[in-house]
Structure 1
């Protein structure tokens, strides 16, 4: 019996025009940045799978591996995203009432 194997190098990719060319899970469009955000909030790989829903454990680990192998790139991306969010918040007042969803 033969088993199919996955080339782990194919699990994370970049697509011009998608997420500004940021690395993402192949075929899913979920960015490494999104996976790392949950990871930095204290979720483990299994919890990230549960939270995001349509990712396999291998895909989450591939994203985390990409992050650890390219930490400066992803940390810079996260910092730029946070700065842009802060800039937009200041432009729009940032004093919106809290949502009670």
Structure 2
């Protein structure tokens, strides 16, 4: 889990914060090593919610600041690939929504209940 680097006369150890694993759909995705947190989850907090690394750690307290910075470093070095993953996952969710629309009594019932709860009485 640690990379060894030789710097002058010193040994410096650098942890590898990112590991590539399969998601539930069998696609390779970068995760923070030893966690279920995807790099794209950290990117969501950082880019879409505008949170700094310290704020992300407050929201995901099982992560260290170094892990969040590692995820962000991976993202900055692989921005296009991470955004490709995000777009693929968003397209997958939209396809599931379309597939479920009109085919599930439970989904339709939940949609109706949600709509009814929005109507003022």
**TM class by shorter-chain length?**
0.7 to 0.9
Residues 26, 80 of structure 1: CA spacing in aligned structure 2 closer, same or farther, 3 A cutoff? same
Counterpart in 1 of 2:81? Answer: 73
- TM-score with structure 1 length normalisation? 0.78
Q: Distance in 1 between matches of 2:14 and 2:39?
A: 18
Counterpart in 1 of 2:14? Answer: 7
Matching of residue 32 in structure 1 with residue 32 in structure 2: no
Between Structure 1 and Structure 2, the one with more strand by share is 2
Gaps of 5+ in 1: none
Larger Rg: 2
- Which protein, 1 or 2, shows the higher relative CO under an 8 Å CA cutoff with sep ≥ 6? 1
Q: Distance in 2 between matches of 1:77 and 1:18?
A: 11
- TM-score with structure 2 length normalisation? 0.66
Q: Please identify runs of 4+ aligned residues in structure 1 that moved more than 6 A.
A: none
Calculate the aligned-residue CA RMSD, in Å.
2.3
